[in-house]
Structure 1
Amino acid sequence: MSAQRKDDHVRLAIEQQDGPRGVNQFDEVTFVHHALVGIDRQDVSLATAFAGVSWPVPIYINAMTGGSAKTGIINRDLAIAARETGVPIASGSMNAYFKDPSCADTFSVLRKENPDGFVIANVNANATVDNVWRAIELIRADALQIHVNTAQETAMPEGDREFSHWPGQIEKIASAVDVPVILKEVGNGLSRQTVLAVKDLGVSVADVSGRGGTDFARIENGRRELGEYAFLHGWGQSAPACLLDAQGVDLPLLASGGVRNPLDVARALALGAKGVGASGGFLRTLLDGGVDALIGQLTTWLDQLAALQTMLGARTPADLTRCDLLIQGSLRSFCAERGIETGPLARRTSSAEAHRETTGSTR
C-alpha cells in the first residue's frame, strides 16, 4: 500500500506539472533595474550560510520521494545530479522506511551516490525520536526536515486526523538530535505566527514551502474515488507571501513552492530566503531526459543565478536583500491585509545611500 501510494504521488505530481497552472505570485515580485550597479562576474559567489550550515550554492533539491522500487531509482538519479553539481538534496518522507525496513535502500541510495554532499533526512511530526535517529543514521544526514502537512493529511483517505500533539513532538525531536532541524511545510506555506511558534520549539530553520508548486492536497484528493476534497486545491499562502509575512523574525528561512527558474530563486533570496528549493520541475526534467538532463538544468540554473547577481550588483546571495523590489497585484493586497509595508522594499538602495551619507561609510 505504501509503495503504491509513493508511485501514485509521482504520477499525480507529474500530471500537475503538465497541467494548467494558476497565478504564481513570484511574478508579482519585480526588481527595480539600476543600469550602473553591475559588477564583475569573477567577484560573484553563490555560497550561502545559515544556522551553522554552509552551502556552496543557494539552490537545493527539495524532498520528493522514496519507499518503492521506482522511487528508489528516482532517488538514485537525483543523488547523482546533486553530486555532480554540488547542490544539497533532501529525501522524501522516510515514514515508509519506518513501516517497512526492506525499502531502506530506496533512501540510503541518496548517500551511496552522493557520499560527500549535503543530504537532508525527512520525517513527519509523528516520528518517534528513535525513528528520527534511524533516519539520520541511514543516510548519514547533515540536517533533518520535519514536515507538517495538515491539508495533505486531511485530503488523504488514510491520513492523520490528530494534530494537537505535533508542537510537543517537534520540540522533543529538535532537542534530541545533533543536526540542524528544518521545519517544512509541503506546499501550503508557513504564516508568521507559525514561524514564531517553531522558533520557540527549538527548530533551527523554517522552509516556508508555499502554494504554487506541487499541491499535495490535490494529489491526495486525486486518490479519492469521488474527489470530494477539491475545495482544498490551492490552499494556503505562496512562498513570496510567507517570506514577506515573516520579515523580521529571527529565524533563518528557506523557500520552496512554485519555483520555476533562476529568476524566482533570485526573487526568493531578495525576500530574505537563505536557500531556495525546487522539486516538481526537477522531477519532470529527470523523467523526460534522464540524469544528464537534470545535471544540465541545475548547472544552467546556477550559471544564470550568478549572471543575475552580476547584473544586480549582488556579490553574494545575501546581497540580494539590498536590491529594490516592487510588490504588485494580489501579493500586494495580501501584504496590505496583513499589515506588511512594501514601500521600504522599493527604496532599499536609497536608504542605504542615505545611511552612507549620514555615517560617512564607504560600504
Structure 2
Amino acid sequence: MPKQNNRKNEHVSLSEKFYDQGQSSFTDVRFVHHSFPQMAVKDVDLAVQLASLHFEVPFFINAMSGGSRWTGKVNEKLAIIARETGLAIATGSVSAALKDPEQEGTFKIVRETNPHGLVFSNLGAGHGLENAKKVVDLLQADAMQIHINAPQEIVMPEGDREFSNWIENVQEIVEGLDVPVIAKEVGFGMSRETVHLLESIGVKIIDISGRGGTNFAQIENYRRTEQKLDDLESWGQTTVESLLETQEAVKGAHIIASGGIRRPMEIIKALAMGAELVGLSSQFMHMALDDVDQTIETVHAWKSELASIMTLLGAKSVNDLKQTDLVLSGQAAQWCAARNISIQKYASRS
C-alpha cells in the first residue's frame, strides 16, 4: 500500500481509536432558564445563510476522509447521510488526489453520491490558487475549506516544516476563487489575533475548530516511532475558548464552530456563543462506521431536539440564540479572566 494511502487510513482509524478521549469544553457553559418561552416549537426556523451558502439546519458534516480505497468508502457513507438528511458535507484534504490522480475517485464519490447537496472541498494552507481551483473543479464544490494545521504538521513525521507563505496562500485563494472560502483550524482553536489577521486579508468565513474532539497532535504523535512530542498533545484553545476569543475580534466574518461537538445541546451552546454554523467530524465518523441508516434517523431526531431547545430559550431563529443568557464557569471563566473578556455580558444579554 502506498505510504500516502496508509497515512489516510491511519488518520481515520486512530480518530476512531481515540474517540472516547474527546472532552467537551461546553460543560463550562450553562443557560439561564426563563420560565415563559412565549413561542411554539413550530415557530422555530433552523435555516442559516453564510455568504451565498444556504443551510437547512445549523450543522454539517465537517472534513474528515478520502485519499485511499477504504476512506473513499467512508466518504460514500457520509455522502449518503448528507443526501438523505439535507446536510452539507466537506471532504478531507484533497491533496492526496493531487499527488496521486488514482485517488480522485475517493473524493469525487461525495459529489456523485450527493449530486444536489452542498459539498466543500478541502486543502491545506501550503497550497496555492491553482491547486485550489483544481480541487474545486474536481468536486464541483460549493465552497473551499483551507485547513490551517501547523501543530499537526510539526508533530507529523513527514509533515511540513515551512509555514512562511501560508497567509499569502490563503489571501491568494480568497481573492482568486469564485466560490466562498472557509479558513479552518483542525482542532487547535483560534485566537482573536488570528481572527483579526484572517479578516484583514479578506476571509469571510472562519471555522475556529477548537480542542476537544479529534486531536491530530495525538494522532501524529502516536504515529511517530522516535522523539515523541507528548507536550504538544494538549496544545491550543478549546472550542469554547476560541468562541470567546472570536467574539472579541470578529468584525463581520461568519463564524463556524467545530471541535468536540457531538450533541444537539452543544450545537445550541456554540450557536449561542456566536457561531452561525456548527461542524461535526468525529461524531459523524463514529456513527457512520457503525450504521448509516441509524445515523440518518439520529440526524432527523437532532433537528427536532434543536427546535425543542430553541423553544425553551425563546429563540425563533439561530440568530436569536445570541441574545440568550449564558453563565460561564471553570476553565472558560479562567480564560476570560486571563484574556480580559467580560463574562458578565454573557449572563445578562436578554
TM-score after normalising by structure 1: 0.93
Trace 1:197-276 onto structure 2 (pairs within 5 A): 197-226=197-226, 228-248=228-248, 249-250=250-251, 251-276=253-278
Distance 2:8 2:266 in 1: 28
Which consecutive aligned stretches of 4+ in structure 1 deviate over 3 angstroms post-superposition?
Answer: none
Contact 2:187 2:214 in 1 (8 A): yes
1:12 is matched with 14
Distance 1:188 1:38 in 2: 39
Shift of 1:11: 0.8
Question: Structure 2: where are the runs of 5+ without partners?
Answer: none
Trace 1:271-350 onto structure 2 (pairs within 5 A): 271-289=273-291, 291-349=292-350
Contact 1:79 1:110 in 2 (8 A): yes
Distance 1:21 1:52 in 2: 33
Q: Which amino acid aligns with 1:224?
A: R
Trace 1:57-72 onto structure 2 (pairs within 5 A): 57-72=57-72
TM-score after normalising by structure 2: 0.97
Which of 138-147 and 301-310 deviates more? 301-310
Distance 1:74 1:246 in 2: 32
2:146 counterpart SS class? strand
Distance 2:316 2:198 in 1: 31
Residues 152-171 of structure 1 deviation map (CA, whole Å, 9 limit, x = unaligned): 00000000001111011111
Q: Which amino acid aligns with 2:179?
A: V
1:255 counterpart SS class? strand
Q: Which amino acid aligns with 1:330?
A: Q
Question: Structure 1: where are the runs of 5+ without partners?
Answer: 350-363
Residues 221-263 of structure 1 deviation map (CA, whole Å, 9 limit, x = unaligned): 1111136111111210011111111115121100000102000
1:116 counterpart SS class? coil
Contact 2:22 2:214 in 1 (8 A): no
From the superposition, tell whether residues 104 and 313 of structure 1 become closer, same or farther in structure 2 (CA, over 3 Å).
same
Query: Alpha carbon RMSD of aligned pairs, Å?
Result: 1.1
Q: Which amino acid aligns with 2:152?
A: Q
1:160 is matched with 160
Shift of 1:109: 0.8
1:357 is matched with none
Q: How many percent of aligned residue pairs carry the same amino acid? A: 44
Shift of 1:118: 0.7
- Equivalences, count: 346
